[in-house]
Amino acid sequence: MARKTGSHSEITGPKVRAAALNLFARHGFAAVSMRQIAREVGVQAGALYLYTKDKQSLLFDLMRAHMDELLATWSARPQRATPLEQLEDFARFHIQFHLDRPDAVFIAYMELRNLSDDNFAAIEALRRQYEQELEKVLEAGHAAGVISVPDTRLATMAVIAMLTGVNTWYREGGRLSQEAVAGIYWDMVRGAVGA
């Protein structure tokens, strides 16, 4: 029978994904070799192919796992009543979720062009799905008359870009806590949508 306890594959598999995530984020997918990943894991390059079909799948799986977790975590949150409360929740959630996973976020935004056509379409669909979550909130707010934007789609893109931008400058241990940053950004989001 197959080994149950102490199986190496249950240790090496996650290590491969973790090493790939870290190296892809630091140097870019195309600039990282399978041998670099293997060295980081402490294994020969050939062994990686027990855990991934090829390099492309390694990238795609990391991206899809990230997007799946993003959508699942947002959907699992308790939903508050009013559109404005929901918008605040989205802003705070987005910042916290993204600041907690800088490497995965970086890859999901920067390595889209290294995906095959099929894989790109799949990731892009998930991203659109996430954007729809915000757009639904903005539309509800618009219908309720509590926010004022001339174009819901543009406002969606503007808010997401603004929030995701935090990842480019925020550093742990800086002068502001995550919560303080989220509070300030929530104020700016509210202003941007005229609420």
Partner DNA sequence: ACATTAACTGAACAATCGTTCAAATCCTAG
Partner DNA sequence: CTAGGATTTGAACGATTGTTCAGTTAATGT
Does 68 participate in binding a copy of itself (rule CB under 8 A)?
no
Give yes or no for a contact between 142 and 194, defined as CB atoms under 8 angstroms apart: no
Does 49 participate in binding DNA (rule CB under 7 A)?
yes
Q: Which of 26, 191, 19, 45 is nearest to 107 (CA)?
A: 26
Does 188 participate in binding a copy of itself (rule CB under 8 A)?
yes
- What is the nearest approach in angstroms of a copy of itself to the Cβ of residue 112? 10
# of chain residues touching a copy of itself (CB under 8 A): 36
In the region spanning residues 56 to 75, those forming contacts with DNA, defined by CB under 7 A, are: 56
Does 96 participate in binding DNA (rule CB under 7 A)?
no
Considering only residues 18, 28, 43, 183, which one is a binding residue for DNA as defined by CB under 7 A? 43
Does 50 participate in binding a copy of itself (rule CB under 8 A)?
no
Taking the alpha carbons at both ends of the chain, their separation in whole angstroms is 62
Does 18 participate in binding DNA (rule CB under 7 A)?
no
Query: Residue 154 CA to chain centroid, in angstroms?
Result: 20
Could you give the residue ranges of the DSSP H alpha helices within the chain? 9-27, 34-41, 55-76, 83-100, 102-110, 117-144, 152-164, 166-169, 178-192
Which chain residues interact with DNA by CB under 7 A?
1-12, 32-36, 38, 42-50, 54-56
